[in-house]
Amino acid sequence: MHIPVLLKETIEILEPKENENFVDATFGEGGHSLEILKYTEPNGKILALEWDPELYKLGVEKIKKLKMEKRIKLVNKNFKNLKRIVKEEGFSQIKGVVFDLGISSWHYEKSGRGFSFKYDEPLDMRINPKIKITAFEIVNYYSYKDLVEIFRNYGEEKEAERVAEEIVRRRKVKKIESSQELAKIVLQAKRFKKKKIHPATQVFMALRTFINGELENLKKGIKSAYDVLDQGGKIVVISFQGLEDKVIKEVFKLLKEKGAEIITKNVIRPDKEEIFKNPKARSAKLRALKKP
């Protein structure tokens, strides 16, 4: 089974106990929810959110298979509306909320939506098909200026101008249709190539983050999570990119002014052993706070 990053540290901070309720804002493949449930037997419950309709269906099947329907309620909704969802579901006495950001390995390996440059897939990059815009439309129809802004503001791409220029030049000849096609164009456009990460990583991250409104949703989601927490409840957020971490710090600072206690004075990172077992964990950062 897929083991989420920084799972041990998440449990240590949340301290789940018998019959307590939690919210898993990013169910994914269910790693956090299933681990929390071990500590909250017999009657502790989890309200879990999964925005991707395909992953949601897989999650429902997994919950049925494990006979956990009475203890996990999974909904196909975005965590930006967490406060409203909690109210609609009549879920209360919430001791903790966990956010495991980004997208799951399932998205890269099995979704077929062009999230990864390892596979030759259509340029889609939507987590939920209700989103109107795809990566294909952005790459082929957005102006040079807009492309530069997206790559810079959502992916911290230092060579945004060169990449946008090459995309605009190439799409005049032929529409850019697949993930590998785009990755090759980015590779050719960039002068400075980091050794550890693929040159197209930041451009792909920028497109995905922009299309799915990830930074804006995160801001709303953390604020909503704080509002629904019980006294003494905790929020744990695991992020994988600098822009997410920036948003988390910004929202945590606002909540600290309201009286929240920042549990993680220094950000928590995976240890060498975890990174060795799961190289994708290397960029993970965990931050947590407690409601007074």
For residues 36 and 16, what is the distance between their CA atoms, to the nearest angstrom? 6
Of the pLDDT bands very low, low, confident and very high (cuts 50, 70, 90), residue 102 is: confident
The residues facing 262 across adjacent strands are 289
What pLDDT shows up at residue 2? 65
What are 17-26's pLDDT values in tens digits?
999 999 999 9
Tokens of 209: 């983050």
What are 17-72's pLDDT values in tens digits?
999 999 999 999 999 999 999 999 999 999 999 999 999 999 999 999 999 999 99
Give the helix/strand (H/E) hosting 181.
Answer: helix 179-189
User: Is 265 a residue whose pLDDT tops 70?
Assistant: yes
With 0-12 / 13-18 / 19 or more C-beta atoms within 10 angstroms meaning exposed / middle / buried, residue 177 is middle
Task: Find where tokens 């060795």 sit.
Answer: 276
Which stretches does DSSP call E strand in 76-226? 94-100
Tokens of 143: 């102006």
For residues 130 and 258, what is the distance between their CA atoms, to the nearest angstrom? 35
**What one-letter code names the amino acid at 109?**
E
What pLDDT shows up at residue 275? 86
What are 186-244's pLDDT values in tens digits?
999 998 877 678 899 999 999 999 999 999 999 999 999 999 999 999 999 999 999 99
* Domains delineated in the chain: 7-106+214-290 (3.40.50.150), 132-211 (1.10.150.170)
> 156's torsion region: left (phi>0), alpha (psi -120 to 50) or beta?
left
What are 131-190's pLDDT values in tens digits?
999 999 999 999 999 999 999 999 999 999 999 999 999 999 999 999 999 999 999 999
Tokens of 175: 């529409």
For residues 91 and 83, what is the distance between their CA atoms, to the nearest angstrom? 10
**What one-letter code names the amino acid at 118?**
K
